[in-house]
Amino acid sequence: MPDPGNLGRRVAQRRQELGLSVEDLAARTGMAARYLQHVETSPTAAPDARALMKIAAALETSTAYLLGAAPHRAPGQAGLGELPTVTALGRAACWALLSPEGIGRLVFDSERGPTALPVSYHARPHDLVFATHPGTHLDQLDGQEAVGLEADHLDDAIGEGWSVLVSGRVRRVTEPDELAELERFTDTKWSGPDATHLLVLEPTEVTGRRIVANAS
């Protein structure tokens, strides 16, 4: 991760672009304004993966952008007129946007701090399945910590889109019958043919927002 101070500057810049106060951002995230002020101003601030996902969703951007892993231009800057309307989505609506499969960013804590990696997932009725390579960071997540998977879509041409955050814990699939059932999920665009370990993200919370542009 770059100098942690860059995270605070990106959060503050994006908040100001949206015309939000720190108190507004606190209301959107359900987090304390004092803590968000700390994130913006302290070079030692290191929000965990779940907090980072909430901040990114509230700022209508991605964790990759806040961490400096995306282009300088944040999603949604092109073609926006007035501040868009943001509507909260229920669990069923969120799951419908995720299904049946897609690409998201799995956010977790590593020795480098909050880390976001792209994964190809498959949505089942109550969980998400993805494959990884033996010995990777993802392969070590088995039941160890809370993680988040963020998926989104934004049409810059009209300034509309959606963002979904699935929070929960990851378990490694080891039972033979379940492995046989999920074997077809190992060959995905982002994992490649050597991704022989299957992981399941079992959600504890599913939240989302839809962004609708207002006529200027």
Are 149 and 54 in the same domain? no
Distance CA 212, CA 190 (A): 30
Residue 100 DSSP symbol: S
Mean pLDDT of 124-149: 80
pTM of structure: 0.63
51 and 149 co-located in one domain: no
Token duo for residue 28:
């959107």
Question: What is the number of structural domains in the chain?
Answer: 2
8 Å CB contact between 89 and 98: no
149/97 Cα distance (integer angstroms): 13
**pLDDT score for 94:** 95
Question: Is residue 81 domain-resident?
Answer: no
pLDDT recorded at residue 3: 43
The enclosing H or E element of 33 equals helix 33-41
188 & 104 share domain: yes
Residue 75 is predicted with a pLDDT of 54
Q: Are residues 123 and 207 in the same domain?
A: yes
More confident residue, 133 or 146: 146
Residue 60 sits in a domain whose CATH number is 1.10.260.40
Q: Does residue 158 fall inside a structural domain?
A: yes
Does one domain contain both 46 and 142? no
CATH number of the domain to which 165 belongs: 2.30.110.10
End-to-end Cα spacing for the chain: 38
Cβ burial, residue 25 (10 Å; 0-12/13-18/19+) = buried
Residue 101 sits in the same domain as residue 191: yes
Task: Kindly report which listed range (143-147, 150-154, 177-181, 205-209) carries the lowest average pLDDT score.
Answer: 143-147
* Residue-level pLDDT at 113: 77
pLDDT tens-digit readout, 4-18 = 457 888 899 889 988
Identify whether residues 62 and 159 lie together within a single domain. Answer: no
201 has pLDDT over 60 = yes
What residues make up the domain containing 58?
4-75
Instruction: Assess contact for 191 and 130: CB atoms under 8 A.
Output: yes
Residue 165: band (very low, low, confident or very high) from pLDDT cuts 50, 70, 90: very high
Q: What is the pLDDT of residues 79-132, one digit of tens each?
A: 445 567 888 999 999 999 998 888 899 888 877 778 888 888 989 999 999 888
Tens digit of each residue's pLDDT (9 = 90 or more) over 16-64: 988 999 999 999 999 999 999 999 988 888 888 888 888 988 998 888 7
User: Is the distance from CB of 86 to CB of 209 less than 8 angstroms?
Assistant: yes
